[in-house]
Amino acid sequence: MSQRLRPVSPIWVAGRPQHGEEEFFVTHPFDDSPVGATSWATTGQVEAAVTAADEVAEEAASLPAHARADALEHVRRRLDEEAETCAELITAESGKPIAWARIEVQRAVSTFRWAAEEARRFSGKLQRLDTDESAEGRMAFVRRFPRGPVLGITPFNFPLNLVAHKVAPAIAAGCPIVVKPAPATPLSSLHLGALFSETELPSAMMSVLPVPNDRAGQLVEDPRLPVVSFTGSGPVGAQILRQVPGKHVTLELGGNGAVLVSADYPRRDWAAERIATFGNYQAGQSCIAVQRVFIEASAFADMAERIADHVRALPTGDPNDPACKVGPMIDAQAAERVESWVNAAVDGGAKVLCGGSPRSGATLEPTVLSEVRHDSLVLREEVFGPVLVLQSVDDFEAGLAAINDSRYGLQAGVFTERLPQIMRAHRELEVGGVVVGDVPSFRADQMPYGGVKDSGVGREGVASAMEDYTTERVLVLPDTL
């Protein structure tokens, strides 16, 4: 597959394009062809970016709402204008099928639109205090103020929209931000940096610094970056919490997304198609991809057959093909790990309903397993690959318990039309979000999003992230002056 090699992308140091001393290629996961290049930020460039963010923090906090909103609206408009270019860039560096990449771009457009709107309505609240006799004649005015510069660390699987979910709320709230993109996929975030350079914001409000992961500690520990917002793996998130216990840290970590299908759910083919699609979209490399599927026993055989049929029908291959739905994983090492987990499950007695063929480079055939041992890695851990595990449960209550039998708790999907079951699922499931009549992979970019247990702390979604990046300050006023 031929790829057009792009010019060397500059990094963005305090809003200014620069080049580091050491360049590196970005390669396409499908065939390892080079698709672009950039450079690692030097120690001096990192220092310059953090210093600038620290120095501009007071100015950023005092920017009027219309200035922040206008800048965000400019980026939204430019992303929309360059939607196809951005989608091609996402596919080139991540291997995400172009159809999914186009959706990601439109989600990023929406994220910046929401941020522009939230910047305009992010206000305080008035609270009466005369509910107690001792506070008669007083009221409280509560406003939120920026905590300071934000360090945003982003993963490879959404190289544009998950960067948007760090940057947009930071700018909307008046916080400078330093972005450290995933080393495998820096190009989309660097393009976003170029779009921000076109705005009238103080240039120091945004930096995009490709930094090797083994050098990220310098940024995490810097006291001039009091907020760390990280999306990625659980072990790294836990390490960050240990490193900086005094900082405000938001962690969006892993999951092993589960769905529960009730026996009397009438739209079985809809459920099967959604499970098949969102167990394998982006080759399963999403923290809310479907992984565990619990089906009430009387519906298990029928649903298992439907799901396997839909998985077999998913178009795979070259991610530049608009028909492709399942492309490669991020690299051969990731595919090899998932393949080894599948093989271990099969060696332990699991039944392969479809897939399971040997990998080809970074490409792994979508696979459906049943009769998996309870201690199998594909059931207990986050696969982060195109693998579905189907399990029969005695009843709805047992299905809820099975979903909760995990150290993760990000989102869950429940296929039922019974209101008592819906309300019970919402009450009992130990997750950050319950999606009714669909898979856990559903996310609207304005809603609160995050998990419990080992799936993280804090919430994203533009307004929720703005609250995370700011702190309340109370002003107590007399009724009369």
Integer Cα distance of 176 and 154 in angstroms: 16
Nearest Cα neighbor of 282 from 110, 104, 33 is 104
Q: Is 472 a catalytic residue?
A: no
- Whether the Cβ atoms of residue 75 and residue 196 lie closer than 8 Å to each other: yes
* Token digits of residue 135: 């506070």
- Whether the Cβ atoms of residue 366 and residue 357 lie closer than 8 Å to each other: no
The tokens 């002003």 sit on which residue?
475
Angle 29-31-33 (CA atoms, 0-180°, nearest 5)?
90
Q: Is 287 a catalytic residue?
A: yes
Integer Cα distance of 253 and 454 in angstroms: 7
- Whether the Cβ atoms of residue 348 and residue 373 lie closer than 8 Å to each other: yes
Nearest Cα neighbor of 74 from 185, 163, 170, 192 is 192
The catalytic position among 175, 287, 324, 354 is: 287
Integer Cα distance of 402 and 380 in angstroms: 11
* H helix intervals, 327-461: 332-347, 377-380, 396-404, 419-428
The tokens 């500059």 sit on which residue?
10
Integer Cα distance of 262 and 458 in angstroms: 31
Element (H, E) at 311: helix 297-312
* Token digits of residue 302: 């029928």
* Token digits of residue 193: 């940096």
Query: How many residues are present in the chain?
Result: 481
Integer Cα distance of 304 and 151 in angstroms: 44
The catalytic position among 104, 118, 252, 296 is: 252
Integer Cα distance of 412 and 443 in angstroms: 11
Q: List, in order, residues 6 or more apart from 246 with CB less than 8 Å away.
A: none
Secondary structure string (H, E, C) spanning 271-306: HHHHHHHHHHHHHHCCCCCCCEEEEEHHHHHHHHHH
Residues marked active site are found at 252, 287
